[in-house]
Amino acid sequence: MSPPDQRRSARSGRLGIALLATIATGNIMLWLAARPSGEPGRRFFGELCGAEAVLLFSCALVLTTLLRPIERAFGGLDRVAVWHRRASVAGVLLLIPHLALVTSPPDPYATSFGHGLGDVALAGLTILALWALAPGLRAARWPGLIRRMARATYERWLTAHRLTGLFVAAAVAHGAIVDPVLHRSTLLRVVFLTVGSLGVVAYVYRELLARHFVPIYDYAVADVRRLNKATLDVALAPLGKRLAFAPGQFVFLAVGGPGGWERHPFSVSSSASDERVELTIKGAGDYTRELYDKLRPGVPAKLAGPFGGFDYRQGGHDQIWIAGGIGITPFISWIRSIDGAFDRDVDFYYAVAHSDDALYLDEIQTAAALHPSLRPHLVSADTDGLLSTDKVLSAVSPGTKPWVYVCGPPPMMETFSRELRRRGIPARRVRWEQFGAR
């Protein structure tokens, strides 16, 4: 890929963030400029926090629509999910000053129904936010409810998470009924209702219509290989039109037939030129463990996608690839898709807990023999210690400006992203795929 193409790719990944920041900032500036005269300061800023929270919740709902322009603007669906989560958490945090400040002066438009809607929205959105964040918390230090949330299955969490739009709709109705600022400013009222309505429309689209616009492909399980005690390799054969994807992308897989379809995201591990789609699945949760135990050839399957923008071809000549555990999957798709035109200089670090956990080593070594500019490094924690940023950057020649691609458990990726920035690698040259479901 030429330097102009690389720059366009980097800009596209930052476009969504810039738009989100502009919308959030613009709403604050509009409220400050259109503040009604005589409105008490404490209550006004409390209502501003509430309106900004509704805007962020609406943006979060728009980000769940799976629309291609949104995915391209953020540089991949995994990054869309990250900003969806950040916008939602920021919205919940803004509810704290909203609740603290809006009742400071008497409320002229207070009604039991309006405030009841606000209470429902506040409770629902707070619980859903805590549930989404619970797996990343040190559960042992939190009350029993947080521990139970952290251990809940993905399916149970997803079912509850789909109620978000209803709570946002309740928040919009609450503001329209009781917010005195909106009653005194037609402009702010129109903007507030427009923003809230867009969020609710996005929610309705996602729940009722998106499935009709996202391509769905019919497949059948052709082969199942159990690579070790926890990981299986699933080959899917097309029953009709074949899904086309770029190496490094992921799909949503549903298996099981009528009454058993549950969609879960998995990175594709096969070459883009293969007739079959191959997925590497680790039995880490209830659903994936059930797949490991019970999945057999002949089972019908549906694939939705593809999604994601994890693509080394968008980076420069000098690269570092870092895979942790099952995060090897998109890199295997890259390696299987390499041809004679491969022109990158790559140090590929594959970190595992034990050497027996390493998958596809023969394929990796074969690819390295055919393409000497691909240099694999297996790092086993039980014998080599944890892979560190110092070790990764030790092989980088002075003056080299590498692009870094990371896929692995979220804590590992967060650590590397932070340490790489500290060591002078710009964020635009650190690309990652977030495969955590929540």
Q: Which pLDDT tens digit goes with each residue over 268-277?
A: 999 988 999 9
Q: Is 307 helix (H, G, I), strand (E, B) or coil?
A: strand
pLDDT at residue 8 in the model: 43
pLDDT tens readout for residues 101-124? 877 555 666 667 777 888 888 888
Domains 216-307 and 314-433 share a fold: no
Residue 3: pLDDT band (50, 70, 90) is very low
Q: Does the structure show a pLDDT above 70 at 146?
A: no
Residue 12: pLDDT band (50, 70, 90) is low
Q: Does the structure show a pLDDT above 50 at 58?
A: yes
What is the CA angle 340-345-351, rounded to 5? 110
pLDDT at residue 432 in the model: 80
Q: What's the predicted TM-score (pTM) here?
A: 0.75
Residue 435: pLDDT band (50, 70, 90) is low
Residues 283 and 289: beta-carbon distance below 8 Å: yes
pLDDT higher at 50 or 427: 50
Q: Does the structure show a pLDDT above 90 at 81?
A: no
Residue 150: pLDDT band (50, 70, 90) is low
Q: Where are the domains of the chain?
A: 3-212, 216-307, 314-433
CATH class of 314-433: alpha beta
pLDDT at residue 61 in the model: 94
Of 31-45, 50-64, 157-171, 311-325, the range with the highest mean pLDDT is 50-64
Q: Does the structure show a pLDDT above 50 at 175?
A: yes
pLDDT at residue 9 in the model: 44
Task: In whole angstroms, give the CA distance from residue 40 to residue 107.
Answer: 11
Residues 391 and 322: beta-carbon distance below 8 Å: no
Span 216-307 CATH architecture: Beta Barrel (2.40)
What is the CA angle 379-384-389, rounded to 5? 65
DSSP 168: H
pLDDT at residue 431 in the model: 85
Q: Does the structure show a pLDDT above 70 at 5?
A: no
Within 8 A by CB and 6+ apart from 370, the residues are 338
Q: Does the structure show a pLDDT above 80 at 151?
A: no
